[in-house]
């Protein structure tokens, strides 16, 4: 008698895994990174590379140190490093991405219990801490290689109400000062929509965020401010790639929608009143991460066929 194999049902699972989702994320980020390299030069590649490699190494080392199981093909730390690298400006010292990766992987991910257990988005929280440590990042004084000179990011102009200082066309095609990954709105939009259409990231949260961001900006700064505010800084990058991070966002549909809505409100308030400069979006993200478990509790689904309150 041959040996039959026994497993509990269901006997099939969907052909996707955590690593595959993360790899798709990386693929979607590559055009954005390439655009950044084209605009800012090869040094951008160095910053991203350092960030990615150090994030991976920190993950492995931390797992070894804590006697956790080391997963050698670990795409999630690569994604964290990649996103962190893309949110940094090109002229930062080389130790900044390494410190950032340490903060992201060891403090905000490892110390919270590893993948899936972190309260904050590691890259976002690390970027916020970096912004506080290295104040230049917060004030966003970048060397825009494409522009040749040390210039302030568009945020500085927009905060003063000088919307005509930078054209929308240059914002859209990344002809401005900014972080490596956040300059090209077109790449971010395309990659974000592709990710959403393949159901790799959630579409509810970004939609909610953009709705309230536009609404609040309109109410406080007028219609002329909407497009410059939306397309400048890291808002779209964070909304497309960091806000729908599965670990730190709510699980239910309404929870996700509320999460997006509140994020849009907070981010636009920070932006309009120019609090924290470039850090504002990351501050809003970390703030929302704290609210996520609460939203999960409020919008918890009620099982069918079970008495309420039983």
- Where do contacts with another protein occur on this chain (CB under 8 A)? 1-18, 20-21, 71, 76, 114-117, 246-253, 256, 300-308
For 133-187, what is the HEC assignment?
HCHHHHHCEEECCCCCCEEECHHHHHHCCCHHHCCHHHHHCCCCCCCCCCCCHHH
Question: Smallest distance, Å, CB 305 to another protein?
Answer: 4
Question: Smallest distance, Å, CB 182 to another protein?
Answer: 25
Residue 89 · residue 178 · CB < 8 Å: yes
Structure tokens at 198: 């393949």
**Separation CA 12–CA 20 (nearest Å):** 17
* H or E element at residue 48: helix 42-65
Residue 80 · residue 54 · CB < 8 Å: no
**Separation CA 176–CA 151 (nearest Å):** 9
Dihedral angle computed from the Cα positions of residues 237, 240, 245 and 249, in that order, rounded to the nearest 10 degrees? 110
Residue nearer to another protein on the CB measure, 148 or 309? 309
Question: Smallest distance, Å, CB 237 to another protein?
Answer: 21
Residue nearer to another protein on the CB measure, 14 or 169? 14
Residue nearer to another protein on the CB measure, 31 or 114? 114
Question: Smallest distance, Å, CB 156 to another protein?
Answer: 37
Question: Smallest distance, Å, CB 65 to another protein?
Answer: 18
Residue nearer to another protein on the CB measure, 171 or 288? 288
Residue nearer to another protein on the CB measure, 93 or 301? 301
């Amino acid at each position: 008698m041959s040996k039959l194999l026994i497993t509990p049902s269901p006997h099939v699972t969907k052909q996707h895994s955590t690593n595959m989702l993360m790899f798709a994320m990386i693929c979607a980020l590559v055009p954005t990174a390439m655009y950044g390299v084209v605009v800012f030069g090869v040094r951008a590649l160095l910053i991203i590379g350092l960030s990615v490699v150090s994030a991976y190494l920190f993950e492995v080392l931390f797992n070894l140190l804590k006697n956790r199981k080391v997963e050698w093909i670990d795409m999630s730390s690569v994604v964290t490093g990649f996103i962190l690298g893309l949110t940094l400006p090109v002229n930062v010292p080389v130790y900044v991405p390494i410190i950032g990766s340490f903060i992201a992987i060891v403090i905000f991910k490892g110390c919270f219990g590893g993948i899936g257990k972190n309260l904050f988005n590691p890259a976002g929280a690390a970027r916020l801490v970096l912004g506080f440590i290295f104040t230049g990042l917060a004030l966003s004084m970048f060397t825009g290689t494409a522009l040749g000179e040390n210039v302030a990011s568009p945020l500085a102009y927009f905060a003063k109400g000088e919307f005509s200082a930078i054209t929308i066309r240059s914002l859209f095609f990344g002809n401005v000062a900014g972080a490596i990954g956040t300059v090209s709105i077109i790449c971010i939009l395309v990659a974000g929509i592709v990710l959403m259409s393949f159901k790799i990231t959630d579409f509810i949260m970004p939609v909610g965020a953009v709705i309230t961001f536009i609404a609040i900006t309109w109410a406080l700064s007028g219609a002329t401010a909407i497009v410059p505010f939306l397309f400048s800084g890291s808002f779209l990058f964070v909304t497309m790639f960091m806000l729908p991070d599965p670990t730190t966002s709510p699980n239910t549909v309404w929870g996700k929608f509320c999460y997006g809505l509140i994020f849009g409100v907070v981010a636009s308030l920070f932006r309009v009143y120019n609090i924290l400069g470039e850090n504002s979006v990351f501050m809003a993200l970390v703030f929302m991460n704290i609210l996520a478990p609460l939203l999960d509790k409020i919008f918890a689904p009620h099982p069918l066929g079970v008495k309420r309150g039983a």
